[in-house]
Amino acid sequence: MVPKRVLGRPAGVSLIVEGKVKETMHNAFWDHLKEQLSASPPDFSCALELLKEIKEILLSLLLPRQNRLRSEIEEALDMDFLKQEAEHGGLDVPYLSKYILNMMTLLCAPVRDEEVQKLENIADPVRLLRGIFQVLGLMKMDMVNYTIQSLQPRLQEHSIQYERAKFQELLNKQPGLLDHTTKWLTQAAADLTTPPPSCPDTPDASGVAGTSSREAINSPEPVSPAMVLSQGFLNLLLWDPENEEFPETLLTDRTRLQELESQLHQLTILASVLLVASSFSGSVLFGSPQFVDKLKRITKSLMEEFNSRPEEAMLTVSEQVSQEIHQSLKNMGLVALSSDNTASLIGQLQNIAKKENCVRSVIDQRIHLFLKCCLVLGVQRSLLDLPGGLTLIETELAELGQKFVSLTHHNQQVFGPYYTEILQSLISPAQALETKVESP
């Protein structure tokens, strides 16, 4: 941080040169301050300007209710009084610096305690003032962050109320504005009573034991509003782009949902490749994070090509992955894949390009199950109980899950009352007590 009086932004100067200019001006100010205080008699003009800025910063760090501290700072750093002392050569800079340090100790966040304590060991008055100014700059940023965090709930609540009010205005003018939303939730309710399509497990796609949280989510139980809404949100990630009957309450989020759908698709391919590769190379290679990361990079680099030319993309992936496995086994002194196993590996990887591929279908179902868990249990708890085949993409899944939960949570906060009314007509009377959709 640099005192205001020496700041400047030279027009047309490159960022590098501008940085050097600022640094030079910065150092020049402190050198000039040292010369003034070392003069006989001392010149306090720069020190007074600096104390004025420090006073302004300290006052800006106060909360509205801290009136006593405000009065104390105003009195201790009364600029008119300090000017009079300076004119008579009696301005006690070390004493004022000590007072400022004490005030910083009271006002700083705990994370700054150590930095403030270090300043107490500086005897040179100019170095001390320079350090004070630098730490005060950090404290200002702390206050900005605190203010943003404290305002966030109110801003979020205002955003929710504003969006809901605007939608209600449109609904008043267009009574049929919730028709597509009603149809969307009706389909979600119907999906919950229809068994999902199954894909016979293969050696590559097997090995998933039903664990507690997934069993709880998939266990047969009466359909609840929360279940219908979660299913509805999941269905949006499978939305047919030709279907124009997109829910009205989610139109503003459609682009973000499409991005999440694309991310989900990429993770399905990535996890499928890793699952097939691991079945051929064993736990030794896949116990190496570097090896797994390399396979991820190979697959991710061809994702864009996969969207337009899946067969060609998977041909390249299969060749590169098989080469990487072969080379890694060789480097570790392990038995290389036989020609039959290599051919089988390449063939199974290439088959991932087909939408009906069993490994790909199972992985896709498991990622959807993970996202369903995220909606019900939260992302962190869901990560503790990942379905088989997904552990190698845990980091990527966490990012996807957090984005999906954030989007659906905000949407539910805004449109919860409308969903409640629609679901009352879809849920049986026996579940009437559960029909309110929460708007946290």
For residue 242, give the DSSP letter.
T
**pLDDT at residue 334, as a whole number:** 84
* Residue 306 in domain: yes
Helix (H) or strand (E) holding 132: helix 125-173
Residues of the chain below pLDDT 70 = 1-23, 195-221, 428-440
Domain assignment of residue 206, yes or no: no
Asked if residue 409 is part of any domain, the answer here is yes
Residue 429, pLDDT score: 57
What is the DSSP annotation of 291-330? HHHHHHHHHHTTHHHHHH-HHHHHHHHHHHHHHHHHHHHH
Question: Is residue 78 in a domain?
Answer: yes
123 within domain boundaries: yes
For residue 284, the model assigns a pLDDT of 80
> Which residue, 67, 323, 359, is CA-closest to 202?
359
Q: Whole-angstrom Cα distance, residue 291 to residue 321?
A: 10
Please give the Cα distance from 377 to 386 (Å, whole number). Answer: 12
Helices vs strands, H then E, count in the chain: 18, 0
Same domain, residue pair 276 and 421: yes
Last residue within a domain, chosen from 147, 168, 186: 147
pLDDT at site 211: 44
In one-letter notation, the amino acid at residue 23 is: E
The per-residue pLDDT for 305 is: 82
Q: What is the count of structural domains for the chain? A: 2
Tokens, residue 320: 């590169």
The type of residue at 254 is R
- Which of 90, 125, 147 is the C-terminal boundary of a domain? 147
Backbone phi and psi for residue 302, each to the nearest 5 degrees, phi listed first: -110, 15
Per-residue model confidence (pLDDT) at position 208:
40
The first and second tokens of residue 234, run together, are 């999941």
* 142 and 263 belong to one structural domain: no
Q: Are residues 255 and 137 in the same domain?
A: no
Specify the pTM.
0.66
pLDDT given at position 222:
72
- Residue 29: the pLDDT is 86
Residue 202: inside a domain, yes or no? no
**Whether residue 254 sits in one domain with residue 142:** no
Q: Write the single-letter amino acid at 386.
A: L
Residues 199, 358 contacting (CB under 8 angstroms): yes
Give the domain range for residue 57: 15-147
Half-sphere exposure of 243 (CA within 13 A, CB side): 15
Backbone angles phi, psi at 14, to 5 degrees: -60, 160
What contacts 49, CB < 8 A, 6 or more positions away? 3, 5
Q: Which of 252, 262, 263 is nearest to 163 (CA)?
A: 252
In a domain, 177, yes or no: no
Is 335 within a domain? yes
pLDDT value at residue 196:
57
**Domain boundary pick from 147, 163, 198:** 147
The amino acid at residue 170 is L
Closest CA to 187 of 138, 241, 234, 123: 234
**Judgement on whether residues 282 and 418 belong to the same structural domain of the protein:** yes
Long-range contacts of 318-326 (CB under 8 A, 24+ apart): 318/345, 318/346, 318/347, 318/349, 318/350, 319/346, 321/273, 321/277, 321/295, 321/345, 321/349, 322/346, 322/349, 324/291, 324/294, 324/295, 324/298, 325/277, 325/280, 325/281, 325/285
Burial (CB < 10 A; 0-12, 13-18, 19+), residue 430, is exposed
What is the spatial distance between Cα 310 and Cα 302, in angstroms, rounded to a whole number? Answer: 9
Q: How many Å is the maximal CA-CA distance in the chain? A: 96
